[in-house]
Chain A
Amino acid sequence: MTDLTSLTIAELRDGFRAGSFSARDIATSFNAAVAAAKALNAYTVETPDDALAAADTADSARQRDELMPLSGIPLGIKDLFATAGTDTTAGSNILKGFKPPYESTVTGNLRRGGAGMLGKLNMDEFAMGSSNETSAYGPVISPWKRSDGGNAALTPGGSSGGSAAAVAAGIAPGVTGTDTGGSIRQPAAFTGISGIKPTYGRCSRWGIVSFASSLDQAGPMARTVRDCAIMLEAMAGFDPKDSTSLDLPVPNWEAGLSSNLKGKRVGIPKEYRIDGVPEEINALWDRGIEWLRDAGAEPVEISLPHTKYALPTYYIIAPAEASSNLARYDGVRYGIREAGEGGLEGMYAATRAAGFGAEVKRRIMIGTYVLSAGFYDAYFNKAQRVRALIKRDFREAFEHCDLILTPTAPSAAFGIGEKMSDPLAMYLNDVFAVPASLAGLPAMSVPGGLDAQGLPLGLHLIGNELDEQGVLNAGLAIEERAGFSARPEKWW
């Protein structure tokens, strides 16, 4: 029989429906692959029984002809999503042992759509990081290796690094990710898979551990653009429990897929030609422009004049929101507790000192500083004004184009430990991803090719508000033309 772990979600779904294999066969294959891939450190918790139970439900639903869109599909879930009765730690020691009595809206939607859960996926602590090295569970190791004969352990990117590694290694056909400043797109690019962050508000944030509430958005990561469309349809939707959730119907993105881009104008922002970005990245970008032209689109040069200020803006706003959101971890209601000295306040301070890792503390400190008396206007309010200008740049650009194409990240995956000593160098990884996050726009990374060392590189599509369909369609056009079929050689 075919190795089921090599199939896409669409192939698994269609094969299961046609009776070529059972849902139990699918779950069993993936459970075994997960159990054999511990060297990747991608899963923090494995839930094979959950996957099998959902598979048995799917198998009996098939007999009764009552199938749901994701019946028979087991998924990996980023550890940022609350899963009822299963450890949810956001990759942090402070939430060690936390078992939510409730289910996040997004994972609840996936379950109602028929999906099972293979386990919880490792991630940067509280989604703060671009390499997975800040996780309390230790870094995820990318399934990819450089072709130089060396055996360096590479990062899968972050913060959805476990999610990206799982799809690339074939230990989940699809996974959830979250994206605050590129946390779906950068790891997707590093591991040669696809991932989309929808418009802010498309997916409910209820039950997702908060990092920066005005930026956080859930999205799918999978092997293909079609698989992303299938998953996003099941994840998205209005939720009265999230006041920022958009009260709009969910489009039929899979049915709407078309790689014919005739009449579309693709904006190429001149400010994204950044000094110091390797020539291979710019060469891939040029190939991407030609692929979209081949699909019928017309490339046009656009200007996003405040691009340069997006990263510093992000590194004020995200820590500010994080410092407020993370105030809830105080040792009273959940997670660990350290007694400390000095009564209740001492307990708070000792608990937080013991529970948070270095990067999280760094961001809490920055966030507290920029919100503190005397600095609020100079930093936080100033950043929100620049953010308004960044948003306006995009609004004006979309008067001249339908989509925007850029590279996803300024490099291919780097080695574990290579950038840990310099926070600013690490932050620069998200230079292409952050502006779309600040503007709340849908954006996607699709694999475009390999660099000279045999590592994947991604192309990045940004759409106008609510135009996930346009993003997916352009992604499909690139996918068809790039013919990216490289897979990491199995070493784990």
Chain B
Amino acid sequence: MSVDTATVRHIARLARLEMSDAEVEATVPELNNILGWVEQLAEVNTDGVEPLTAVIDQKLRLRDDVINDGNVRDAVLLNAPDAQHGFFAVPKVIE
């Protein structure tokens, strides 16, 4: 499998990364180089092998469904590039 400029543009859109035409052009051979290299995994026989899900065997814990903090609105908004009236402000989504 190899990627072309259309694929790179599609992936960049999925990744929410703005890219100039020059960057798209430069990315095509880079991705192909790396993807070509990882394709050697195809030669490994993995029939009947379950994909690894936990690197150290352990049960995922459940915690009680309780609020153990809260009332920290100012701390939550502290680093926002734009906060107004106690909310994160973003460009208008609905006209």
Contact = CB atoms under 8 A, between A and B. Distances in A.
Contacts of B55: 200, 214-215, 391, 438-440
A335 interface: yes
Interface string A340-381: 100111111110110010000110111011001001001101
Contact of A332 (B60, B61, B88): B88
Interface string A236-254: 0000100110110000000
Interface stretch (A45-53, A138-146, A293-301, A382-390): A382-390
Contacts of A440: 55-56
Contacts of A366: 31, 34-35
A313 B17 contact: no
A323 interface: yes
A327 to B, nearest CB: 8
Given A309-B44, A369-B11, A364 B93 contact: no
A347 B93 CA distance: 11
A389 B46 contact: yes
A353 B41 contact: no
B50 A385 contact: yes
A340 B31 CA distance: 26
A240 B8 contact: no
Interface string B69-95: 000100110111110000010111100
Interface residues of A, number: 72
B9 to A, nearest CB: 11
A201 B14 contact: no
A291 interface: no
B19 A353 contact: yes
Contact of A388 (B15, B17, B19, B51): B51
A382 B46 CA distance: 8
A312 B41 contact: yes
A263 B92 CA distance: 69
Contact of B80 (A333, A361, A382): A333
Given A366-B31, A423-B30, A440-B56, A353 B17 contact: yes
Interface string A193-226: 0000001110000000000001100000000000
Nearest to B92: A343
A246 B58 contact: yes
A384 B52 contact: yes
Contact of B30 (A199, A332, A362): A362
Most buried by B among A101, A102, A365: A365
B26 to A, nearest CB: 9
A385 B81 contact: no
A385 B30 contact: no
A361 B79 contact: no
A365 B12 contact: yes
The main secondary structure of chain B at its interface with chain A is: loop
A133 interface: no
B52 to A, nearest CB: 4
Interface in A320-345: 323, 327, 330-337, 339-340, 343-345
B38 interface: yes
Contact of A344 (B1, B51, B78, B93): B93
A183 B51 CA distance: 25
A333 B80 CA distance: 5
Interface in A365-422: 365-366, 368-369, 372, 375, 378-379, 381-389, 391
Nearest to A389: B49
A99 interface: yes
Given A200-B55, A365-B31, A386-B44, A334 B75 contact: no
Interface in A416-465: 423-424, 438-440, 465
A312 B88 contact: no
A356 B19 CA distance: 12
Contacts of A97: 79
Given A361-B17, A385-B46, A423-B34, A243 B78 contact: no
Given A309-B40, A312-B40, 13 more contacts: A246-B56, A312-B37, A312-B38, A333-B80, A336-B81, A339-B91, A343-B93, A349-B17, A350-B18, A382-B46, A385-B50, A391-B52, A440-B55
Interface of B: 1, 3, 7-8, 11-19, 27, 30-31, 33-35, 37-38, 40-42, 44, 46, 49-53, 55-56, 58, 60-61, 63, 72, 75-76, 78-82, 88, 90-93
Interface of A: 97-102, 199-201, 214-215, 240, 243-244, 246-247, 306, 309, 312-313, 315-316, 323, 327, 330-337, 339-340, 343-350, 352-353, 356, 361-362, 364-366, 368-369, 372, 375, 378-379, 381-389, 391, 423-424, 438-440, 465
Q: Give me the 4 closest cross-chain CB pairs, A-B, nearest first.
A: A384-B51, A440-B55, A337-B81, A385-B46
14 contacts: A215-B55, A240-B63, A343-B92, A350-B18, A352-B15, A365-B27, A365-B31, A369-B11, A372-B14, A381-B51, A384-B53, A385-B51, A389-B49, A440-B56
